[in-house]
């Protein structure tokens, strides 16, 4: 099916609160586990989380890698606000700095990072080049890049089946979001094309489930 873009920023407080309260334990732990598998060496230093939302991935990453400091950027104040209490109570808040910044116009807090991560931002971007330009702009030499996102299914019926299967107990606002996100996501072949266009063809694209892909590698 054709891609159907969704709004970039998650500005609606109701949507943001539902998202922050949703149970992302399994996919977010999988994000960390897949990162570890792809980068088994010790990871320390500054990390940039693009499109950090309420900060759950940033918190899990900081816990998993105690020698890191995570800067998260998100364009939506509602999403940052929705996660503030959880971040404050996380035990790693002193190693997190989540700020409002909208790509591509706003810079990240620091100019260059040895590790750049992102979860579920790519499918929100109307122009996916915004993601890859941000990666290039903020990657230190030899930076690790790890991006995870949804993968667009073959048909609206398949998108509806995935929502019914994986989000049956979630509130309606989240089920609707999930459906729209699946329809807005890219296929692995499209992401490969984006990387080639951005001069990042050295990164690997891999489907890791029936609905997720990862993009990873080390930048020269």
Ligand X SMILES: C[S@@+](CC[C@H](N)C(=O)[O-])C[C@H]1O[C@@H](n2cnc3c(N)ncnc32)[C@H](O)[C@@H]1O
- Residues found near ligand X in the complex (CB under 6 A): 8-10, 51-53, 56-57, 74-76, 79, 102-103, 119-121, 124-125
Pairing of strands 45-50, 212-218: unpaired
Give the nearest distance from C-beta 105 to ligand X in angstroms: 9
Residue nearest to ligand X (CB): 53
Q: Cβ closer to ligand X: 27 or 217? A: 27
Q: Is 160 helix (H, G, I), strand (E, B) or coil?
A: helix
Token pair for 35: 């990162």
Query: Distance (Å, rounded) from C-alpha 151 to C-alpha 100?
Result: 26
Q: Is 64 helix (H, G, I), strand (E, B) or coil?
A: helix
Query: Distance (Å, rounded) from C-alpha 209 to C-alpha 53?
Result: 22
Q: Cβ closer to ligand X: 57 or 203? A: 57
Q: Cβ closer to ligand X: 12 or 158? A: 12
H or E stretch covering 157: helix 156-166
Q: Cβ closer to ligand X: 102 or 207? A: 102
Q: Name residue 74's beta-bridge partners.
A: 100
**DSSP structural state of residue 186:** B
Give the nearest distance from C-beta 107 to ligand X in angstroms: 12
Give the nearest distance from C-beta 136 to ligand X in angstroms: 16
Give the nearest distance from C-beta 81 to ligand X in angstroms: 11
Does a cis peptide bond (omega within 30 degrees of 0) precede residue 98?
no
Give the nearest distance from C-beta 145 to ligand X in angstroms: 15
Q: Cβ closer to ligand X: 47 or 57? A: 57
């Amino acid at each position: 099916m054709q891609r159907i873009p969704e709004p970039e920023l998650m500005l609606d407080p109701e949507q943001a609160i539902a998202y922050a309260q949703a149970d992302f334990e399994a996919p977010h732990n999988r994000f960390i586990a897949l990162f570890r598998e792809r980068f088994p060496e010790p990871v320390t230093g500054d990390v940039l989380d693009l499109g950090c939302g309420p900060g759950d991935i940033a918190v899990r990453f900081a816990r998993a890698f105690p020698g890191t400091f995570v800067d998260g950027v998100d364009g939506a104040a509602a999403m940052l606000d929705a996660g503030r209490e959880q971040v404050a109570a996380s035990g790693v808040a002193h190693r997190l700095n989540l700020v409002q910044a909208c790509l591509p116009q706003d810079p990240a807090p620091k100019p260059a990072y040895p590790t750049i991560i992102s979860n579920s931002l790519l499918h929100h971007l109307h122009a996916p080049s915004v993601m890859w330009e941000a990666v290039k702009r903020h990657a230190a030499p030899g930076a690790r890049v790890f991006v995870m996102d949804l993968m667009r299914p073959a048909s609206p019926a398949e998108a509806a089946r995935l929502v019914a299967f994986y989000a049956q107990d979630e509130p309606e606002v989240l089920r609707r979001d999930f459906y729209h996100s699946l329809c807005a996501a890219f296929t692995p072949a499209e992401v490969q094309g984006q990387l080639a266009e951005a001069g990042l063809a050295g990164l690997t694209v891999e489907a890791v489930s029936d609905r997720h892909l990862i993009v990873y590698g080390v930048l020269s």
